Structure 1
Amino acid sequence: MSALMVAFVRVHDLDAYNREYLSLAHPLIQKYGGKALVVSEKVNKLQGTLPDGKFVILEFPSLEKAEGYYYSGEHQALLEKGNPYFSSDSIIVEHQMTGDEG
């Protein structure tokens, strides 16, 4: 079963965010078998309340890999380093394929 990390990311300083967090997070995501499925600022709310920000969905091969990435010392250090440049709301969910999905 794969896992999805879903986040709304609010960037306060784009240059610093790209330099101090994103450029280092990409290889770390790949290290845990993850890949970006969606990165978009165009979110059409249908109902309820959504946080502001860029919508990001990352896919990992398992819940363990997703949690391993998020809670790793490397990622926690990146979050701390990037804290002045962005904030986010995020969750991890297990993704179980249904019979309709190959």
Structure 2
Amino acid sequence: MAKGYWVARIDVHDLDGYKRDYVAHNGAVFAKFGAKFLTRGGTYEAHEGPSRSRNVVIEFKDYATALACYHSPEYQALIKARGPYSQGEIVIVEGYDGPQPQA
């Protein structure tokens, strides 16, 4: 079964508030849904289109779990808590587990 992923692109304009009201509380929600951070900010290089200052990729066991986490009451409350401190986009995608390119 293909995994599910959140791809988030975020600009934070109040880091203290963001950490206090969002980051400090999101771990319990992500743990509940078995989430694994693949990227969490870090160095990046934008090549096409506009970029944001934070790029986050979170892996879930499947697409349905990724959606369930996002739509959970706990995460919906965190969206509201995060709002005053940041703006961005989150895309939830199904992974691919089919054939890969070969030489």
- Partner of 2:84, secondary structure, is coil
Greater than 2 Å deviation, 4+ residue runs: 97-100
What's the TM-score, normalizing by structure 1?
A: 0.87
- What is residue 76 of structure 2 aligned with on the other side? 76
Letter in 2 for 1:20: D
Unaligned residue ranges in structure 1 (runs of 5+): none
**Size of the alignment, in residue pairs?**
99
Unaligned residue ranges in structure 2 (runs of 5+): none
Q: What is the CA–CA distance in structure 1 between the aligned matches of 2:41 and 2:74, rounded to whole Å?
A: 25
Deviation string 1:32-75 (CA, Å, 9 cap, x unpaired) is 111100012422123x2133220100000011111011111111
What's the TM-score, normalizing by structure 2?
A: 0.86
1:26-41 equivalences in 2 (<5 Å): 26-41=27-42
Letter in 2 for 1:5: W
- What is residue 17 of structure 1 aligned with on the other side? 18
